[in-house]
Amino acid sequence: MAFCALTQQGQTMRFHGLSAFPITPADADGQVLARDLRRIVRRAADEGVDSICVLGSAGGFAYLDPDQRRAAVDAALAELDGALPLIVGVGALRTDTAVSLARHAKAAGADALLVPPISYTPLTDDEVFAHYAAIAQGGGLPVCIYNNPTTTHFTFSPDLLVRLSAIPRICAVKMPLPAHGDFGAEIADLRARLPQGFSIGYSGDWGCAGAMLAGADAFYSVAAGTWPAPMLRLVRAAQAGDGAETARIDAAFQPLWSLFRQCGSFRVVHRAANLLGLSDAQPPRPILPLAPDHDAALRDAIAALDTI
């Protein structure tokens, strides 16, 4: 039996429902603002999201040194105190760095790992396989594969996902939105190839409604890190198969989705955190803050979420 095909109280329970991806507020020198991070994490936890993932792409892991990444994990865990699962992103150029971060996450009390294949020299399938095997073994926590070609410039083929699913502790995949838009067909194909119980989730917030209505196990959401309550309503409606309610909620999100696509969610959620009084942190340079002429549209998008 594959490692991920355990009871529902086992490894894959870390990868179900709505996972909120908060920003990691930091100062201009890259020092994590632990108090701000704890405030944002608490906000998501209080709304009842299914998990929180720190140091994903929305969490700006690539712009933080390893010590500050450890500080972010420690702050989030101190705030949650076991209230819900914490997933920790451990993407790194070097395998030994990723393993070290994974070991810290486990020792600190995290529940699972999110692993993207970060590279400068393009990676082969065999290199990615060995990278994940080392992290799964060294980290000792359930692992979600982060398939995000836009940022990592590496695409996981179905065959490579099958190979990776045979590694103990690799239990889930976070997929990009399908280019053809057919979530149902892609999910069915993956379920036919992957072990029973392997969690199939998606990211790309404007695709949340379609992914969850099609039966995805999880949705990994940037928006949920800042607006956990309306995102949770969207996911719960879709999980219940209520197409009309899902469409109604998703319509209220459309102004935000438009800003995400136009400006990049990373910039948008940092500015939203400023406007909502969650943190004064700015994006790490060289990323520039959201241009001021988008503030009116962002305020309108935030107001639209209050109607949900």
Encode pLDDT of 27-36 as tens digits: 999 999 999 9
Within 10 angstroms of residue 287's Cβ, the number of other Cβ atoms is 14
The two tokens of residue 111 are 């529940």
Whether residue 211 is predicted with pLDDT greater than 90 in this model: the reply is yes
Band (pLDDT 50/70/90 cuts) for residue 287 is: very high
Residues 6+ apart with CB under 8 A from 64: 24, 26, 30, 32, 55, 72, 284
Q: Give the chain's end-to-end CA distance (angstroms, integer).
A: 43
Q: How far is CA 106 from CA 101, 204, 299, in A?
A: 9, 27, 39
Q: Tell me the residue length of the chain.
A: 308
Encode pLDDT of 161-208 as tens digits: 999 999 999 999 999 999 999 999 999 999 999 999 999 999 999 999
Kindly provide the b/e burial profile for residues 156-171, where b requires at least 16 CB atoms within 10 angstroms of the residue's own CB: beeebbebbbebebbb
pTM over 0.75: yes
The two tokens of residue 251 are 């319509």
The two tokens of residue 40 are 């944002």
Active site residues: 146, 174
Whether residue 3 is predicted with pLDDT greater than 60 in this model: the reply is no
With CA atoms as reference, report the closest residue to 32 among 24, 41, 22, 23: 24
